Amino acid sequence: MSESLDRLYYKPLEAVVSAAEHGKTVRSVLERQLGVSRKLLSQVKLTEHGLTVNEKRVYTTAPVSEGDVIRVRMLREESDDILPQPIPIEVVFEDEHLLIVNKPAGMIVHPTHGHYTDTMANGVVYHWRRQGERVRFRPVHRLDEETSGLVAVAKTSYVHQQLSEQMQASEVLKLYRAYVYGAPDPAAGTVDAPIDRDPDRPHVRIVTPAGYPSVTHYETAKRFVSADGELAAAVRLKLETGRTHQIRVHMRHIGCPLIGDKMYGPEEGAVAAWEEAAGRQALHAETLGFTHPITRERMEWHAPLPPELVRLEGALSS
């Protein structure tokens, strides 16, 4: 029976009822111990082995006794709408619950309308197929096409839910490195400026009083002055919110647009040598950290600066 269940379901979530929980309902114990959402419970209770107490199928409202073992099993899923492609992906970390990928610049995370192939998702699905895993592609967050760095992908709906809640509670550490024109003044600070779509260009974001709250913390790591007196800086950034294009919009807002940014870069005065050295927008997601939803271990990953940004720093220093 166990082998057949393993083929149909992911490894179950498990909760043992404590003395204080005696007489409580299945739902309340799972919400208290594991933070299982009602949406997930409504899905799993429809399958024969999705929700059990001592391996007997139950309803979410069933009362439990001390020592009872509650198991939640999610059906295995696959991304049938994503074409597997042998695209190289750099796996930084992987276990049966989640995957951390160091995405290169120039790669879209997920297929979009008119762009169904050559994305990170295509490469990840191929990677899982080769490993014999049946997993649905669930990115916890995304990076712009021209931004490199760390992306977390959940392997189950529960892990996705848990990480999404950590992000909403600002418990996920996301640190970025950017290279900008000019130098922030003051050298370290916070940009608290609401962001929304540009009404005239819906694909572009702008700072506007009517926008969504958006907060970026920054710290200048290094200043550069060219032989011609042009000023640039390497900046470390920490996101408190995660709006589309947030760092790019906020850096432009304080007069320090990203080098190589075609959408939010300087309207004039771009340095050709710097643009050529970067060959892309100079933004890299270098650190990602959160509490593992299953093991509850606090984990942190780092992605080294990619070669093109190492080359840009050399150009800025010369």
Q: Enumerate domains of the chain plus CATH numbers.
A: 2-72 (3.10.290.10), 90-168 (3.30.2350.10), 173-317 (3.30.2350.10)
What is the arithmetic mean of pLDDT over 145-154? 97
Torsion angle, CA of 290/258/311/93, rounded to 10 degrees?
A: 20
pLDDT tens digits, one per residue of 75-93: 998 898 999 999 999 999 9
pLDDT tens digits, one per residue of 193-211: 999 999 999 999 999 999 9
What is the arithmetic mean of pLDDT over 127-151? 95
Q: Which two tokens stand for residue 58?
A: 């139950």
pLDDT tens digits, one per residue of 304-318: 999 999 999 999 998
pLDDT at 241: 87
What band does 3 get if pLDDT is binned at 50, 70 and 90? low
What band does 29 get if pLDDT is binned at 50, 70 and 90? very high
What is the arithmetic mean of pLDDT over 164-176? 93
What band does 228 get if pLDDT is binned at 50, 70 and 90? confident
Distance CA(209)–CA(227), nearest Å, equals 39
Dihedral over Cα of 91, 242, 112, 308: its sign: negative
- Among candidate residues 215, 219, 221, the one with its CA nearest the CA of residue 246: 215
pTM of the model: 0.91
Q: Which two tokens stand for residue 56?
A: 């007997």
Q: What is the 3-state secondary structure (H, E, C) of 178-239?
A: EEEECCCCCCEEEEECCEEEECCEEEEEEECCCCECCEEEEEEEEEEECCCCCEEEEEEEEE
What band does 7 get if pLDDT is binned at 50, 70 and 90? confident
| Unique residue bearing structure tokens 């640039």 | 232
Distance CA(247)–CA(258), nearest Å, equals 9
Catalytic residue positions, numbered: 144
User: Does residue 240 have a pLDDT over 60?
Assistant: yes
